[in-house]
C-alpha cells in the first residue's frame, strides 16, 4: 500500500487561490473532474474550487499493474495535493469544504476520520459507509485489468444515469462515458480493489464536521437508505434525496447540487462561528 498519485484541476475562474474558502471536489469511479464542471461553475464566484482525478483517470497518471492503495490513502493524497497548492500560512494548514460522489464521497469520509482538523464540512453524494456488493468490485478489478475499461461502458451507463438522461443530455453523458473509455485499466482496477476493502461503518460516529448525505432517487448502488444511515450515525448529519437522478447527481442535476452545497457550506460557517445550534440526524425533504 502507498499514497496514490493524483492531480488537481482548478474548477473556479480565479487564477490565484486563497481569497475565498476552498472547496475540494472528488469524482466517481470511471469519471473525472468533468462530472463536476457545471456544478462548480455555479459555485465558482463564491468559492475557490479544486477538483482531483483518481489514479489513471482524467489527468492523473496511469498506474502500474500491481498498484495497491486504500480509500484512506486516497484521502491522504488529497491532503497532500491541497498542501502542495495552498501551503500552510503561519503554521496553520488550509481547511476546506469537501464534497465527493461515490468513491469520491468515501474519500471524504476517510478525510473526516484521518484528517478531521482539515475539514470545514463534508458532503457525500451517491456514496456509502460500505458499498453494496463490495465483494463484486474485486471481480470487476480483475475483469478490467485484463479487458480494459471499455468492457464497463454499457453497465456504467445504466448505473450512472436516471432513465431518459442519455437521450435528453447526450453531451454530458457522452463526455463521462468517453472519460471511462479513456481511463487507465490498472488505475481503474486499483480503485475497485480499494472500494472492495472500504468499510467505515464502525467509525462513522466519529465524524463530527457538518455532514450532508445525498442520494439519487434511481441510484441502485447507494440508495437513500445508505444516506439516511450515515446522517443518523454522524454527529451532525442531514440526508437528502434528489428526485430524477441516479448515481452521478452532480452531472445529472448540477443546479440543485450547487444549491445544496451552497446552503450546506453556509450552514457549516454559521455553526463554526457559533451562530447556529441546530441538531443532528435530520432529513431534508
**Mean pLDDT over each residue of the chain, to the nearest integer:** 95
Q: For 67-112, what is each residue's pLDDT tens digit? A: 999 999 999 999 999 999 998 888 899 999 999 999 999 999 999 9
199: number of Cβ within 10 Å: 14
Inside any domain, residue 67:
yes
Inside any domain, residue 210:
yes
* 276 or 196, greater pLDDT: 196
Report the pLDDT value the prediction gives residue 281, as an integer from 0 to 100: 53
Question: Rounded to the nearest 5°, which phi and psi values hold at 55?
Answer: -55, 130
**Percent of the chain's residues with pLDDT above 90:** 88
pLDDT band for 284, please (50, 70, 90 cuts): very low
pLDDT band for 219, please (50, 70, 90 cuts): very high
Inside any domain, residue 60:
yes
| 8 A C-beta contact, residue 195 and residue 29 | yes
Report the pLDDT value the prediction gives residue 285, as an integer from 0 to 100: 31
The yes-or-no verdict on residue 279 having pLDDT over 50 is no
Which residue is listed with cell 448515481? 247
Report the pLDDT value the prediction gives residue 89, as an integer from 0 to 100: 84
**Number of compact structural domains in the chain:** 1
Q: Which domain holds residue 56?
A: 7-283
Inside any domain, residue 1:
no
Q: For 231-243, what is each residue's pLDDT tens digit? A: 999 999 999 999 9
Inside any domain, residue 206:
yes
Inside any domain, residue 2:
no
CATH number at residue 212: 3.40.50.1820
- Give dist(CA 48, CA 271) in Å, integer: 21
| 8 A C-beta contact, residue 27 and residue 251 | no
Report the pLDDT value the prediction gives residue 282, as an integer from 0 to 100: 52
Report the pLDDT value the prediction gives residue 280, as an integer from 0 to 100: 47
pLDDT band for 16, please (50, 70, 90 cuts): confident
The secondary structure of the chain as a DSSP string is --PPP-EEEE-SS-SS-SSS-EEEEEPPTT--GGGGHHHHHHHTTTSEEEEEE-TTSTTSPPPPTT----HHHHHHHHHHHHHHHS--BTTBPPPEEEEEETHHHHHHHHHHHH-GGGEEEEEEES--SS-TTTHHHHHHHHHHHHH-GGGGHHHHHHHHS-TTHHHH-HHHHHHHHHHHHHS-HHHHHHHHHHHHH---GGGGGG--S-EEEEEETT-SSS-HHHHHHHHHHSTTEEEEEETT--S-HHHHSHHHHHHHHHHHHHHHHHHHTT-----SSEE--
Report the pLDDT value the prediction gives residue 283, as an integer from 0 to 100: 55
Report pTM.
Answer: 0.95
pLDDT band for 1, please (50, 70, 90 cuts): low
Q: For 148-174, what is each residue's pLDDT tens digit? A: 999 999 999 999 999 999 999 999 999
Amino acid at each position: 500500500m502507498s499514497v496514490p498519485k493524483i492531480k488537481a484541476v482548478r474548477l473556479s475562474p480565479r487564477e490565484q487561490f486563497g481569497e475565498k474558502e476552498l472547496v475540494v471536489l472528488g469524482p466517481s469511479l470511471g469519471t473525472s473532474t468533468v462530472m463536476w464542471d457545471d456544478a462548480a461553475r455555479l459555485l465558482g464566484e463564491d468559492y475557490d474550487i479544486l477538483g482531483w482525478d483518481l489514479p489513471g483517470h482524467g489527468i492523473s497518471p496511469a498506474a502500474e499493474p500491481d498498484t495497491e492503495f486504500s480509500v484512506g490513502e486516497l484521502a491522504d493524497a488529497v491532503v497532500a495535493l491541497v498542501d502542495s497548492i495552498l501551503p500552510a500560512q503561519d503554521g496553520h494548514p488550509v481547511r476546506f469544504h469537501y464534497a465527493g460522489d461515490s468513491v469520491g464521497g468515501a474519500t471524504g469520509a476517510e478525510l473526516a476520520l484521518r484528517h478531521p482538523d482539515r475539514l470545514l464540512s463534508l458532503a457525500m453524494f451517491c456514496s456509502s459507509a460500505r458499498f453494496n456488493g463490495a465483494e463484486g468490485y474485486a471481480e470487476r478489478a480483475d475483469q478490467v485489468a485484463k479487458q480494459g475499461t471499455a468492457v464497463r461502458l454499457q453497465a456504467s451507463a445504466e448505473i450512472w444515469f436516471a432513465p431518459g438522461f442519455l437521450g435528453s443530455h447526450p453531451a454530458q453523458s457522452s463526455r463521462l462515458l468517453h472519460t471511462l473509455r479513456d481511463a487507465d485499466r490498472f488505475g481503474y482496477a486499483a480503485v475497485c480493489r480499494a472500494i472492495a476493502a472500504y468499510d467505515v461503518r464502525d467509525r462513522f460516529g466519529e465524524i463530527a464536521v457538518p455532514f450532508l448525505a445525498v442520494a439519487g432517487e434511481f441510484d441502485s448502488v447507494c440508495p437513500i437508505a445508505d444516506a439516511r444511515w450515515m446522517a443518523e450515525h454522524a454527529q451532525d448529519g442531514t440526508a437528502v434525496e434528489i428526485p430524477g437522478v441516479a448515481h452521478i447527481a452532480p452531472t445529472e442535476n448540477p443546479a440543485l447540487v450547487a444549491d445544496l452545497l451552497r446552503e450546506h457550506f453556509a450552514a457549516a460557517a454559521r455553526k463554526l462561528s457559533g451562530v447556529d445550534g441546530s441538531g443532528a440526524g435530520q432529513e431534508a425533504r
